[in-house]
Amino acid sequence: MPLANVEPGILYLLPVWLGQDGGPDSMPGLNAEIAKDITLYFAEHERTARQMLRRLIPAIDMPSLEIHRLDKETDQITVSEYVGMIAKGSNAAIVSEAGMPGIADPGALLVREAHAKGIRVVPLVGPSSLLLALAASGLNGQNFTFHGYLPRDQRDRQQALRGIESDIHRTGAAHIFIETPYRNDALFGDILRTCASSTLLCVACDLTQLNEMVCTLSIEAWKKRSINLKDRPTVFILGR
């Protein structure tokens, strides 16, 4: 529980842009109002976090910020120490590398511990590539699963795709997954080789950016198109 006689701080989830396009005016004004009064931050990479905070609040007092590393390698002892800082009364925020903290993001580690210690967690409004892609896909927004990254090994990846497609035919659910951008084309090729011609695939690239593309077609139709996905942040959704 939080320390006796001390009002614990709040842990905010501070969304950031999905790419290089966009400035303070493309984020809710409330986000900047809250962030300008916070000096304690948690992020995967300090440099990226500072860039994002400068982008959100151009006049931010950068030397006053305390930014701690929070990534998939962060151990439970360190996470507990971070929550202890908030329990002592400091408001804090998690900054993602892109989009919403805690969604395809290691911020969930700190959020879970904050709940366990009675710390209030407040998500702020901002972009989530997964929800934006699903909303624009035309696929099942009532029943969907996010898989994160599919297996890197091609044989295992193709087996995972066959399992996903089997569930699609059984339930009609949408299945969402992502890939490291430089491996997008390899994943796309495996989807075309593995899935049935009638299965629908949504490819959502560079969401909220100037080169944004969202397109849902059958596998058969995709095979007739030429597309280069390398190094483009992309969300893939399979459905029917």
On whether the CB atoms of residues 124 and 10 are closer than 8 A, the answer is: no
On whether the CB atoms of residues 35 and 53 are closer than 8 A, the answer is: yes
H or E element at residue 112:
helix 108-116
Pick the CATH number of 129-239 from 3.40.50.300, 3.30.950.10, 3.40.720.10, 3.40.190.10: 3.30.950.10
Type of residue numbered 29? G
- Between the CA atoms of 85, 18, 172 and 240, what dihedral angle is there, to the nearest 10 degrees? -170
On whether the CB atoms of residues 121 and 42 are closer than 8 A, the answer is: no
Q: Which two tokens stand for residue 35?
A: 């962030």
* Domain ranges, ordered by start, for the chain: 10-123, 129-239
Q: What is the DSSP string of 10-27?
A: EEEEE-B-SSS---GGGS
Residue 201: count of CB within 10 angstroms of its CB: 21
On whether the CB atoms of residues 13 and 109 are closer than 8 A, the answer is: no
pLDDT in tens, the chain (240 residues): 545 577 999 999 999 999 999 999 999 999 999 999 999 999 999 999 999 999 999 999 999 999 999 999 999 999 999 999 999 999 999 999 999 999 988 999 999 999 999 999 999 999 999 999 999 999 999 999 999 999 999 999 999 999 999 999 999 999 999 999 999 999 999 999 999 999 999 999 999 999 999 999 999 999 999 999 999 999 999 999
Q: What is the predicted pLDDT for the residue at 6?
A: 78
According to CATH, the superfamily of the domain at 10-123 is: Tetrapyrrole methylase, N-terminal domain (3.40.1010.10)
Q: What is the predicted pLDDT for the residue at 4?
A: 57
On whether the CB atoms of residues 65 and 39 are closer than 8 A, the answer is: yes
